[in-house]
Amino acid sequence: GEAEEAAPVFQYAGKAAKRKDRVFVWGFCYSGALGVPSFVKPDVGWKKPRRIQSTPYRLETEEKISSAACGYGFTLLSSKTTDITKVWGMGLNKDSQLGFQRSIRDRTKGYEYVLEPSPIPLPLEKPQQTRVLQVSCGRAHSLILTDSEGVFTMGNNSYGQCGRTVVEDETYSESHLIHQLKEFDSRVVQVVCGQDHSLFRTKKGAVYACGWGADGQTGLGHYNITSVPTKLRGDIAGVNIIQISSYGDCCLAVSDEGDVFGWGNSEYLQLASVTETTQVNVPRHLPFKIGKVKEAACGGTGNIVLTEEGNVFVWGYGILGKGPNLIETAVPEMIPPSLFGCSDFNPDIRVAHIRCGLSQFAALTNRGELFVWGKNLRGCLGTGRMEDQYFPWRVTVPGEVVDVACGVDHMVSMVKSFT
Amino acid sequence: QGVQGSPFAGPKKRAWTGVSLPTTNHAAREGGMRRDLKIGAGHRLDVKASGVFVLGIGDGNKLLTDLYNCHLTKVYTVGGLFGKATDDFSDTGKLVEKTTFDHITREKLERILAVIQGTNHKALLMHSNIDMKTQEAYELAVKGLIRPMGKSPPIITAIRCLQFTLPEFQLEIQCLHETQQYLRKIVHEIGLELKSSAVCTQVRRIRDGVFTLDDALLRTQWNLQSIQNAIWDCQLKVKTEIEKTLGHQDKSHLHKMDAEMAQTADS
């Protein structure tokens, strides 16, 4: 009526209101890997420390985070900014996997644990031009990929995983040493940390490795350590590799033609489709008949791939995502798309990305939903419950999940707000 | 008055309230003896809503109970209008506030719908009382058959946008244990999530369990013959659904239905 016509109109959002970029963390808190100091050291006297954050918790960051990586008890976050500070780290720092974090109380000492995202200064030649593209974290070392100054490595180098000569009796704690790697056949476009080894993928489609090799995870044809990044051959020689993955001691690579190659540990049937041996030290083609593979991810005992058609396949050992009855398989089994929300009502839902932690899996759909399954070590699944999850389960995140990084007992996600 | 029950489609804008139904010849044939048949109503439709409304008559009331215990979903088309909020969430309520809405896009709306679906999906599994650690739980989850078989709060099992022309929009909502007012509240909350406001302009039930609009009788069809046909046409699918969901329970109602179906087939 007239009263309604005359009523004022409120504006809560303008047409140009932009969606905000956010970071959410969850899992084990005491290592500091979640970056929320009050979880470990409550700011109010009567509050108790929080051991586990079982649902996504918003982490305030200064910059838009474009890459995140979860190591064993620590986290790296990076931004593509041209500002001086491009990488932040939090969590365990006993091996200087977060670089030297100067203590405030004693400026000659470094922190063993970092409780909030702290800048990691990089020895860049052009700090106001060079951008950090991606970060990766292993058991006790980190890799930082830049667009024009190669790869920077930090942390434990007992096995040459940082790509530099192993120094006997080197002390890794409170170390300022950050090493730079530039000797590859072309620009490095992806870096991956396994437990104690490192993989590098170049623009030309080659794969390099260094570090611990006792399970053949360096794929260089031997079981020794390697301290200089060396190009892999075997079944991937001359093949254009477009993606690599590792987190434990097994490695997978995907070619531009959609083929999958694997090497490293096979104690859990990861490579049993081609060999009975439990260690494979040269890349082998895995002859799966599941369609063209787009993306692969390796966990500690289980593997997962995503095909061009949007189907998800799992194999290996552990909680694989098809109920408690499927504990192990050498041959990939498909996870029914209905578990990711695909139905008659919603026929266009597809899994867009898959990720692996040490004993858990994650899948991101084209609608920005995050599904997780596997062992729920210290609440790392983020479901709000403490039970293991035997099939894909939605994690409630207040936003569209753009990417997720999985660790041993924590996860970090990059999210865009809805409006 | 003897009357057979069947699914009715209420007129679009008005709800079905009371109606005087045609008398049958039944009483006359039985030598003037009247038989009182109980008419039971299925899931409610409130005054402002319209759509499929299921009734049971005589022995059909027991089937209504069985169907209730199947906890099947219902589907509604729900109309919404951005730009204002009212005290009862409908377009006929008292104005609370007017807001801008030109920043709203279909894409933004669909993102909100995705969240609603996600949170409700979890609620669905939580209230279904199934041990999530079993292979059975996995099998049911794959088939989309996990749902609460007892009391639960309203749960939306699926929601999507059918039409979007600012300031109007239309949603299709599949749900369980709902009230129509709950659906109006969802429209209101969607408005808030989109940093605006919205009121509900229409709630129309297009499906109740196995009954759809196609099964429903229009006002003009409220006569004995149509009603009898309607009951006959739906018997098989009602029986099938009850068997599928409550299969392990006492099937005495169904046995009786079988006998009736056999009798009528013979005659």
Span A82-122, pLDDT tens digits: 999 999 999 999 999 999 999 988 988 999 999 999 999 99
Q: Are residues B114 and B172 in the same domain?
A: yes
Average pLDDT of the segment spanning B176-202: 96
Residues of A in contact with B98 (CB under 8 A): 4, 7-10
Q: Are residues B93 and B201 in the same domain?
A: yes
Question: Final residue of a domain: which of B169, B190, B208?
Answer: B208
Taking the C-alpha atoms of residue A216 and residue A374, their distance in angstroms, rounded to an integer, is 26
Q: Are residues B11 and B123 in the same domain?
A: no
Taking the C-alpha atoms of residue B112 and residue B82, their distance in angstroms, rounded to an integer, is 14
> A94 and A86 in contact (C-beta within 8 Å)?
no
Candidates B193, B114, B190; CA nearest to A400 is B114
Candidates B90, B195, B89; CA nearest to A10 is B195
Instruction: Return the structure tokens found at B193.
Output: 């999530």
Whole-number mean pLDDT of chain A? 95
> How close, in Å, is residue A240 to chain B by CA atoms?
37
The percentage of chain B sitting over the pLDDT mark of 70, rounded to a whole number, equals 79
Taking the C-alpha atoms of residue A89 and residue A71, their distance in angstroms, rounded to an integer, is 11
> A326 and A320 in contact (C-beta within 8 Å)?
yes
CA distances from A74 to A114, A115, A155 (A): 9, 10, 12
Contact call for A368 and B137, based on CB within 8 A: no
Q: Are residues B200 and B85 in the same domain?
A: yes
Instruction: Return the structure tokens found at A390.
Output: 């035997």
| C-alpha torsion sign, points A395, A401, A405, A410 | negative
> A226 and A213 in contact (C-beta within 8 Å)?
yes
Out of A16, A336, A419, the one facing B194 most closely (by C-beta) is: A419
Alpha helices in B31-179 (DSSP H): 60-70, 106-127, 135-143
Out of A368, A394, A398, the one facing B121 most closely (by C-beta) is: A394
Q: Are residues B18 and B89 in the same domain?
A: no
The catalytic site residues of B sit at 46
> B128 and B146 in contact (C-beta within 8 Å)?
yes
Contact call for B134 and A323, based on CB within 8 A: yes
Spatial neighbors of A419 by CB under 8 A, at least 6 apart, are A13, A17, A19, B108, B111, B112, B193, B194, B195
Instruction: Return the structure tokens found at B149.
Output: 């078989």
Residues of A in contact with B138 (CB under 8 A): 322-325, 390-391
For chain B, how many structural domains are there in total?
Answer: 2
Contact call for A339 and B142, based on CB within 8 A: yes
Contact call for A10 and B97, based on CB within 8 A: yes
Q: Quick count: other Cβ atoms within 10 Å of Cβ B71?
A: 18
Question: Final residue of a domain: which of B158, B191, B208?
Answer: B208
The least confident of A105-109, A189-193, A244-248, B180-184 is: A105-109
The model's pLDDT over A306-341, given as tens digits with 9 standing for 90+, comes to 999 999 999 999 999 999 999 999 999 999 999 998
Q: Are residues B182 and B158 in the same domain?
A: yes
User: Amino acid identity, residue B232?
Assistant: W
CA distances from A158 to A137, A221, A244, A406, B213 (A): 16, 20, 23, 24, 72
Q: What is the pLDDT of residue B69?
A: 86
Confidence band (pLDDT; 50, 70, 90) for B10?
Answer: very low
Q: Are residues B219 and B187 in the same domain?
A: no
Residues of A in contact with B167 (CB under 8 A): none
Q: A303 forms bridges with which residues in the sheet?
A: A298, A315
User: Amino acid identity, residue B30?
Assistant: E
Average pLDDT of the segment spanning B214-218: 89
Q: Are residues B100 and B50 in the same domain?
A: no
Task: Evaluate the omega torsion of the peptide bond into residue B167 and state whether it is cis, within 30 degrees of 0.
Answer: yes
Q: What is the pLDDT of residue A112?
A: 94
CA distances from B163 to A187, A290, A344, B109 (A): 48, 38, 18, 11
Contact call for A4 and B95, based on CB within 8 A: yes
Instruction: Return the structure tokens found at B52.
Output: 């499929």
Q: What are phi and psi of A179, to 5 degrees?
A: -100, 145
Q: What are phi and psi of A120, to 5 degrees?
A: -110, 110
Q: What are phi and psi of B196, to 5 degrees?
A: -145, -145
> Around B16, how many Cα atoms within 13 Å sit in the side-chain half-sphere?
24
Q: Which uninterrupted H or E stretch holds B236?
A: helix B224-246
Higher pLDDT: B24 or A31? It is A31
Higher pLDDT: A382 or B267? It is A382
Residues of B in contact with A367 (CB under 8 A): 114
Q: Please give the residue of chain B at the shortest CA–CA distance from A10.
A: B99
- DSSP state letters, A128-170: TT--EEEEEE-SSEEEEEESSS-EEEEE--TTSTTSSPPPTT-
Q: Which uninterrupted H or E stretch holds B190?
A: helix B180-193
> A269 and A263 in contact (C-beta within 8 Å)?
no
Does B28 have pLDDT greater than 60?
no
| C-alpha torsion sign, points B161, B163, B168, B174 | negative
The least confident of A133-137, A268-272, A316-320, B28-32 is: B28-32
Q: What are phi and psi of A204, to 5 degrees?
A: -75, -5
How far, in whole angstroms, is CA A141 from its chain's centroid? Answer: 13
The model's pLDDT over B29-79, given as tens digits with 9 standing for 90+, comes to 444 556 777 888 989 999 999 999 999 988 888 888 888 888 888 999 999
| C-alpha torsion sign, points B9, B12, B18, B20 | negative
Q: Please give the residue of chain B at the shortest CA–CA distance from A349.
A: B114
CATH of the domain at B162: 3.30.2350.10
Does A362 have pLDDT greater than 70?
yes
Q: Are residues B87 and B200 in the same domain?
A: yes
Question: Final residue of a domain: which of B183, B208, B233?
Answer: B208
Does B234 have pLDDT greater than 50?
yes
> What Rg, from alpha-carbon coordinates, does chain B have?
21
Out of B112, B139, B196, the one facing A418 most closely (by C-beta) is: B112
Higher pLDDT: B242 or B207? It is B207
The model's pLDDT over A29-80, given as tens digits with 9 standing for 90+, comes to 999 999 999 999 998 888 999 999 999 999 999 899 999 999 999 999 999 9
Q: Are residues B111 and B203 in the same domain?
A: yes
Taking the C-alpha atoms of residue A142 and residue A198, their distance in angstroms, rounded to an integer, is 9
Taking the C-alpha atoms of residue A255 and residue A243, their distance in angstroms, rounded to an integer, is 7
Q: A99 forms bridges with which residues in the sheet?
A: none
Confidence band (pLDDT; 50, 70, 90) for B262?
Answer: low
Residues of B in contact with A10 (CB under 8 A): 97-100
Q: Cα–Cα–Cα angle for A39, B120, B94, nearest 5°?
A: 105
Q: What is the pLDDT of residue B1?
A: 24
Q: Are residues B167 and B224 in the same domain?
A: no
How far, in whole angstroms, is CA A399 from its chain's centroid? Answer: 20
What three-state secondary structure class fits B14? coil
Contact call for B100 and A391, based on CB within 8 A: no
Whole-number mean pLDDT of chain B? 80
Confidence band (pLDDT; 50, 70, 90) for B114?
Answer: confident
Task: Give the predicted TM-score (pTM) of the model.
Answer: 0.82
B240: left (phi over 0), alpha (psi -120 to 50) or beta: alpha
Q: What share of chain A is helix, strand, coil (3-state, %, to 5)?
A: 5, 40, 55
Taking the C-alpha atoms of residue A294 and residue A353, their distance in angstroms, rounded to an integer, is 9
Candidates A120, A127, A121, A125; CA nearest to A69 is A120
Window A:4-33, CB contacts with B under 8 Å: 4, 7-17
Does A350 have pLDDT greater than 70?
yes
Q: Please give the residue of chain B at the shortest CA–CA distance from A1.
A: B95
Q: Are residues B191 and B219 in the same domain?
A: no
- Range of the structural domain that residue B140 is part of: 74-208
Residues of A in contact with B134 (CB under 8 A): 323-324
Contact call for B143 and A396, based on CB within 8 A: no
Q: What is the pLDDT of residue B259?
A: 60
What three-state secondary structure class fits B141? helix
> Around A337, how many Cα atoms within 13 Å sit in the side-chain half-sphere?
17
Q: What is the pLDDT of residue A225?
A: 97
Taking the C-alpha atoms of residue A245 and residue A262, their distance in angstroms, rounded to an integer, is 10
Taking the C-alpha atoms of residue B97 and residue B198, their distance in angstroms, rounded to an integer, is 10
Instruction: Return the structure tokens found at A152.
Output: 């920077």
Any CB–CB contact under 8 A between B134 and chain A?
Answer: yes
> How close, in Å, is residue B193 to chain A by CA atoms?
8
Does B15 have pLDDT greater than 50?
no
Q: What one-character DSSP code corresponds to residue A15?
A: T
User: Amino acid identity, residue A148?
Assistant: S
The percentage of chain A sitting over the pLDDT mark of 70, rounded to a whole number, equals 99
The model's pLDDT over A171-228, given as tens digits with 9 standing for 90+, comes to 999 999 999 999 999 999 999 999 999 999 999 999 999 999 999 999 999 999 999 9
- DSSP state letters, A323-381: -TT--EEEEEEEEPGGGGT-SSS-TT--EEEEEE-SSEEEEEETTS-EEEEE--GGGTT
**Which pairing describes strands A179-181 and A151-155: parallel, antiparallel, or unpaired?**
antiparallel
